[in-house]
Amino acid sequence: MTSTDAAPTSTQTFTSLDPASGEVVGTHPIHSAADVAAAVATARKQAEWWQALGYDGRKKALVRWRKLIARRMEELAALMARETGKPAGDALLETALAIDHLAWAASHAEKVLKRRSVAPGLLMVNQAASVEYRPLGVVGVIGPWNYPVFTPMGSIAYALAAGNAVVFKPSEFTPGVGEWLAATFREAIGRPVLQVVTGYGETGAALTTAGVDKVAFTGSTATGKRVMAACAQTLTPVVIEAGGKDALLVADDADVAEAADAALWGAAANAGQTCAGVERVYVHERVYDQFLDELVARAERLEARPGGQVGPITMPSQVEIIRRHVDDALARGGRALVGGPVPEGARFVQPTVLVDVPEDSAAVQEETFGPTVTVTRVKDMDEAIERANGTRYALGSTVFSKDQGMAIAQRLRAGMTAINGVISFAAIPTLPFGGVGDSGFGRIHGPDGLREFTYPHAIARQRFKPAIALTTFRRTAKEEQQLTKVVRGLYGRGKR
Ligand code: NAD
């Protein structure tokens, strides 16, 4: 089945597999460049209809879709759990958060984007100034597999609410989830304003050169660079939501037990395959031993297994990366207090707590994307901040402290910070989500996330003739002198 209007020209298919059992979950078309072009052409027509609906019509339509997803959320969560291997409860939580974002985007688009007056300034006081954020047209969304509903929904819902049509290329590991979203949209709204194209990286690459008006990419930094290079050929703007190496900082006034609990969940939830998951912890020396005791006690009780709280590693090739990071850490003097070397051929990686790992090792600097965490003792929070800020990535971050949370957060180089909680920022629809450095740029969620899929249109309307006519060849030397006087009077007075 395909949710594009045009029949696919390619007859090739691929399968998505249950990573825990290896069973086939579904068979999907490998959409060719021609299929992608057809989908974008359909989207272009749909965008006209969608834009003509206006804010109110789009809101009503998106509410219908929201209701349909909410009514069938168990079905979506079950499919997601099968395709990714994540526990059913986690899949349900992810679906719930995605619905919340869809609801927010639908109900706030008008307020954030509609034309509003802005002050014209003293020199242009005769003008009425206003700005409106207009839809770009067709947005191509390329998604990852780790949060295959929540993550792309951060682009899809906001792009749609802003008035764009969307062509979505889900990860090759989670094509069924993508098709489910497009099919329910069609069911709720009756038109393919949201379409899905499935396949491998080539299908995604075809989307970047198919003439879309923006690409919203979520995935690895390496692929993000390729997407950006492809988009550069046509000056197509991009949002890059890439990887992370998020740190959790524990101050000496922290609730240490809570911090340990958050660190473990942040590190091992979704088997550690979370862009804004906790991969490094820096702990004040005064509470280091206590923190480690709390963390180790909890981590020892957690087991990665079929049906457990920690599922399999979704992508087989990721196991090799996790193994390399752990082996390198151990070879360079690190110790595993929980877990240890990853066995050959493993699909389940056990929660792993590493200490004494050199700061320049892969386990501290590169994205591991497994249920592992390094814990490092620091003499004070200045050192913790310096180390936390010491990787090329800068996505999320976490601080545990009773009194210094805000002060520490404001010194962290990161797109988001959770204080005395973990990843909480992602679930708040009003907050922008995104990174800096190798974690990418641009924002999804919140007002910034709506504006990301628009372009501002500025209007200056003359209300009455200006006292000094500036933009005419009729301007006189006297008027220029008057202007000089006015500007000096306004901006040149006072002490140096
Ligand atoms: P990936 O980069 O391998 O693939 C992402 C998507 O890009 C897939 O749909 C893939 O088919 C497609 N793709 C591959 N090559 C392409 C190309 N040349 N042109 C266009 N598209 C192409 O990433 P992944 O393994 O699916 O996801 C895991 C990564 O995503 C991790 O690094 C994780 O941190 C990151 N991630 C980031 C966020 C965020 O919001 N910052 C959220 C979730 C995941």
The domain spans of the chain are: 13-242+445-455, 246-429
Residue 467 has pLDDT above 90, yes or no: no
User: Looking at residues 217-229, what average pLDDT do you find?
Assistant: 98
What confidence category does residue 372 fall into, taking pLDDT thresholds of 50, 70 and 90? Answer: very high
**Residue 11 pLDDT greater than 80, yes or no:** no
CA of 218 to the centre of ligand 1 (A): 5
The Cα-based distances of 309 to 79, 304, 462 in angstroms read 17, 7, 63
Contacts of residue 384, Cβ cutoff 8 Å, sequence gap at least 6 = 247, 249, 250, 251, 282, 283, 284, 378, 408
Work out the mean pLDDT of the chain and round it to a whole number. Answer: 96
- In terms of CATH, what superfamily is 246-429? Aldehyde Dehydrogenase; Chain A, domain 2 (3.40.309.10)
Task: Give the residue-averaged pLDDT of 247-274.
Answer: 98
Residue 64 binned pLDDT confidence (cut-offs 50, 70, 90): very high
Residue 380 has pLDDT above 80, yes or no: yes
CA of residue 457 to ligand 1 center, whole Å: 32
The class level of CATH for 13-242+445-455 reads: alpha beta
Q: How confident is the model at residue 284 (pLDDT cuts 50, 70, 90)?
A: very high
Give 204 Cα–ligand 1 centroid separation in angstroms.
10
Between 316 and 354, whose confidence is greater? 354
* 241 counts as catalytic: yes
* Mean pLDDT value across residues 133-138: 98
Catalytic entry in 231, 275, 294, 366: 275
Q: Given a cut of 70, is residue 255 above it in pLDDT?
A: yes
Per-residue pLDDT at 3 exceeds 50: no
Q: Give the residue among 80, 20, 14 at the shortest CA–CA distance from 314.
A: 20
Ligand 1 lining (C-beta closer than 6 Å): 142-147, 151, 169, 171-172, 200-201, 204-205, 208, 218-220, 223, 226-227, 241-244, 275, 315, 367, 369, 395, 435, 439-440
Closest by Cα among 120, 119, 124 to 469: 124
Tens digit of pLDDT for each residue in 302-334?
999 998 999 999 998 999 999 999 999 999 999
Residue labelled with tokens 């599922």: 311
- Give the confidence band of 2 by pLDDT, cuts at 50, 70, 90: very low
Measured in Å, residue 197 CA sits from the centre of ligand 1 at: 15
- Check if 202 is active-site: no
Q: What is the mean pLDDT of residues 223-249?
A: 98
In this structure, which residue's CA is closest to atom 42 in ligand 1? 275
Q: What is the pLDDT of residue 9?
A: 60
